[in-house]
Amino acid sequence: MGEQKTVALIAHDGKKQAMLQFVRDHRAVLERYELIATHTTGKLLSDELGLTVQLMLSGPIGGDAQIAAQVAEGKIEAVFFFIDPLTAQPHDPDIHTLLRICNVHEVPLATNPATALFIISGRAL
């Protein structure tokens, strides 16, 4: 039997409630995957929904970079990264690295709930 596929979940502070609602709405699909997340996002999902989530570091202290490395290694099937475009992020270079790595390795990437819905309900997963 093959290794279970992994989906990464990340949300800026201003988008954490949108991520929580998205995961709540699509739990049946997401539970078929290993879930990995930056620390604060993953802890929220675990605490609120009881999901098992592998926690990386918080985004500003390296979590986005940790997830980017796993994308580059072919370990992540899709990335749902709800970005707050109206708030400056101190770790912007790490964010751009993750976005770039997803594009280089052609890993589906959603930066908002509308795109995430398209990916989760389409053939991308």
Per-residue model confidence as pLDDT tens digits over 27-45: 999 999 999 999 999 999 9
Find all residues with CB under 8 Å of 103, minimum gap 6, and list them.
Answer: 109
The answer on pLDDT for 121 being more than 80 is yes
Side-chain half-sphere CA neighbours of 125 within 13 A: 27
Residues with a catalytic annotation lie at 64
Domains of the chain, earliest start first: 19-76+92-121 (3.40.50.1380)
Query: What pTM was estimated for this model as a whole?
Result: 0.93
